[in-house]
Structure 1
């Protein structure tokens, strides 16, 4: 009996040690799981948090509120911190909250001297509807009626109805001069836009316009612990979609649950701080790795556009297909570096991404580079070449961004002032300092690593059939 008892105690002791080992191992695995799920949460939520912070910046920096329109009186400067913005045409932005019911946005018909291009996106930054000549109104103008989730009331006639799955809607538009029109013509034309609740349609109040040009704008995503506070607020503010239920369930591992306050303890906070840095590194790697999101537009070219596989996964930039919700492609492939994708790619504008020089090396802010733009570019409206800070994905600041007013790009609008070659082509230089005699052809890099976007507004057939080609950027010093 004593022997049996001793054997039993020995077995129990060994068993207890075994259970203790499992507990220690499980605790370690759980810590790593928290870190992993926090990284995934950032990548998953990238487009939602980016557009949420964009809208909140308009409220904080400009004193705007829902249904106001922020209309820049002049093109943006480095103090206006957008992801990969254009500095050649002023922007107009509006944000709508559908919790109070349907909201109407009136888009004017294309004018003789100006037109509107742009898109409205949902709370996940998926483009829902384009407006203007390349949009649903086809340049004829129209009343877009945005309907909240689950709206079942009859909709009145004469509207372009747009059913939403979330409450927040954001519009990013560009009034573009046309037919010899001026920037002033485009600015006046843009003020014909109206935003108001459907309930006020019989007698809508005048839309409030705010000039975004004089003040700085801080709309860039912030990669620190505030990300998770914003994510917790988003989860509580917006409806949960069927596709996101698994991720919503896993968020409880990092302290985020619907209906509960987000209060991370010190240990969890350390994991979240580390996870946000890891997530950003992963998205950056996805962005710069050839062939993942971008592929050469021409054979043996360093100018890139979305690859066929990337466009298939993008599926109208919703990134939701019959097979999957493509989180990495949605984050690192687009919304990590851009906002307000259009629903119809290439209808109004086309972007060429330049991350490398002709030798295939990433662009270095300390070197001098040259881009030769041919005399003829197949763009009905205009073309532009703009420099972006590789770190922020915003304009390069030639000094403190709050006050920087350096040129960040050049376009066909600037061509008359630039030194031109005998064949009508122009050489644009990207460097810390201007090459002698080419001051008007120069865009500063301020010594910062950078990338380029070459835009064609109104791209034409020679671009799409590849019979026209843009030379690679060459390192000259």
Structure 2
């Protein structure tokens, strides 16, 4: 080997070593990391592990919002008496701002309960005709549609849900679903309203020959919280879920993140003082990041047009695009909404519902409860059934609580909205109603922000091809 060749090899090797080496001091947001020839000094190891735990705690929050949301929901409805699958909570006559729920609409009567397949084993749900019902597992993953979007096609039917690991007999006469979790979230809606809702039945398969009656509790008359925490107790909510459900119910990556901060299936969650302090720091940071991806998502698919945003990015109820999980999209949706079903992700012409939301006005400013705005809804609204605008508190993502009404919404099916001569509508939002426009006004609160959700029920082709578009909120003061 010539001296020249050897020198070239050494030079190339030195370049490779330089590219893969760590300097003796690395600046980081967590402080300087110091090494001796690549080996961490003792104080650096301590700093690095604090940093790793903080980052993993933030990732745990962002990636387990779906599960924490359902733990909090179950805790909330349990607090007002929905303590068994036999008890069904309903919002009679419709949802209002009395309790903390993630973005309910005021146009629907909801029914809900939580299946407990560990206590009951195989469980039957009988849905009424012309219903729109969904079951999601305890990690907020889709299990089944029932009713119009389900296999009974709105004719009513019996659905059988089998617990994890079930290997017993499966009788005929049911639409059968296996679920990876023992607890499952049930949402019931019926086009026939409350009387139809009360024809729903939930009971153990073992009682199929003579099921006990269900009890219905009116949640619309109650005040309670069903929304997950944004502080350290968030991790306690998730730990509760991990302890209850089989290890196999969660993917290995998220389970690994959870285990890294002491949340496992087989041991109590008991962080020491150091880790507790890190989790107390991580939760508000993560909650802030969740608010950013919810209120100002950066994925181009989240932009509907103008300031209006789409809550189901990528068109997949599993938040998948080209084989990749859309992590921000999953957080975005679950931070401000509930219920996962393909029927929401893939609204079809004339069926289901379509959604749009914004937190900004026509000037790009954040909607301010102390200011007044007009939203013009152009003629020929693309909704087969009707359209509605509900407004929500940006902190709680629940219906905005205002003195004038428990129903902070305007809808085309109420018969109270005043239309313009051309079929358009001017809707008004602010602390006081414009003179003579009280029927088209929603009250807002000075000192608070708010955001609207526009819903088109039975969206028509102009919604999808965007030949009809929502206008922006125009400040009027």
| TM-score past 0.5 threshold | yes
Q: Give distance in 1, aligned partners of 2:320 and 2:114.
A: 24
Change beyond 3 A, Cα 1:471–1:83: same
Query: Deviations 1:81-140 (Å, cap 9, x if unpaired)?
Result: 111110122211111011131111101122xxxxx2232111111222222223332111
Per the alignment, residue 209 of structure 1 pairs with 216
The answer to whether structure 1 residue 247 and structure 2 residue 254 are counterparts is yes
- The C-alpha deviation readout for 1:28-56, integer Å capped at 9, x for no partner, is 11111111111111112100010111012
Name 2:356's counterpart in structure 1. Answer: 352
For residues 196-345 of structure 1, what are the structure 2 equivalents within 5 Å?
A: 196-241=203-248, 244-292=251-299, 295-298=302-305, 301-306=306-311, 310-311=313-314, 315=316, 317-319=317-319, 323-331=323-331, 333-345=332-344
Give the TM-score taking structure 1 as reference length. Answer: 0.85
Structure 1 gaps, min length 5: 1-15, 111-115, 178-185
Distance in structure 2 (CA, Å) of the matches to 1:326 and 1:222:
23
**Cα distance change on mapping 1:290 and 1:248 into 2, 3 Å:** closer
Offset of residue 405 of structure 1: 4.5
Provide the TM-score with structure 2 as the length reference. 0.85
Q: Label 1:197 to 1:262 Cα distance change in 2 as closer, same or farther (>3 A).
A: same
In the alignment, the residues of structure 2 paired with residue 271 and residue 355 of structure 1 have an alpha-carbon distance, to the nearest angstrom, of 31
Deviation at 1:243, TM superposition (A): 6.1
Residue-pair matches, total: 436
Following TM superposition, by how much is the alpha carbon of 1:375 offset from its aligned partner in structure 2, in angstroms? 4.2
- 1:136-158 CA-partner distances (Å, limit 9, x unpaired): 32111111111111222332222
Q: Assess, with a 3 A threshold, how the Cα gap between structure 1 residues 417 and 396 changes in structure 2: closer, same or farther.
A: same
Matches of 1:260 and 1:321 in 2, distance apart? Answer: 35
Query: Equivalent residue for 1:66?
Result: 85
Could you tell me how far 1:468 is from its partner in structure 2? Answer: 2.8
Q: Secondary structure of 1:176's partner?
A: coil
- Partner of residue 26, structure 2: none
1:108 matches 2:128: yes
Answering whether residue 151 of structure 2 is matched by residue 132 of structure 1, we say: no
1:383-398 alignment, distance < 5 Å = 383-398=387-402
Partner of 1:378: 382
SS at match of 2:247: coil
Contact 2:247/2:265, CA 8 A, preserved across alignment:
no
| Distance change (3 Å), C-alpha of 1:120 and 1:417 | same
Deviations 1:407-440 (A, max 9, x none): 31110133x3233322232211111222222112
More displaced, 158-167 or 261-270? 261-270
Give, in angstroms, the shift of residue 69 of structure 1: 0.9
Q: Secondary structure at the match of 1:278?
A: helix
Distance 1:293 1:39 in 2: 24
CA deviations on 1:383-420 (whole Å, 9 max, x unpaired) are 11011111211111126xxxx84431110133x32333
- Alpha-carbon shift at residue 211 of structure 1 (Å): 1.3
Coordinate RMSD, CA, aligned: 2.4
Structure 2 unaligned segments of length 5 or more: list them: 1-34
Distance 2:268 2:250 in 1: 24
Matching residue of 2:429: 430
* Pairing of 1:394-413 with structure 2 (within 5 A): 394-398=398-402, 405-413=405-413
Q: Report the equivalent of 2:438.
A: 439
Which moved further from structure 2: 42-51 or 442-451?
Answer: 442-451
Distance 1:471 1:20, change over 3 A: closer
What SS is found at the alignment partner of 2:219? coil
Do the aligned residues in 1 keep the contact of 2:82 with 2:89 (CA within 8 Å)? Answer: no
Pick closer, same or farther for the CA change 1:306–1:254 going to 2, 3 Å: closer
SS at match of 2:56: helix
| 2:64 aligned residue | 45
Question: Structure 1's 132 and 379: CA in aligned 2 closer, same or farther, altered over 3 A?
Answer: farther
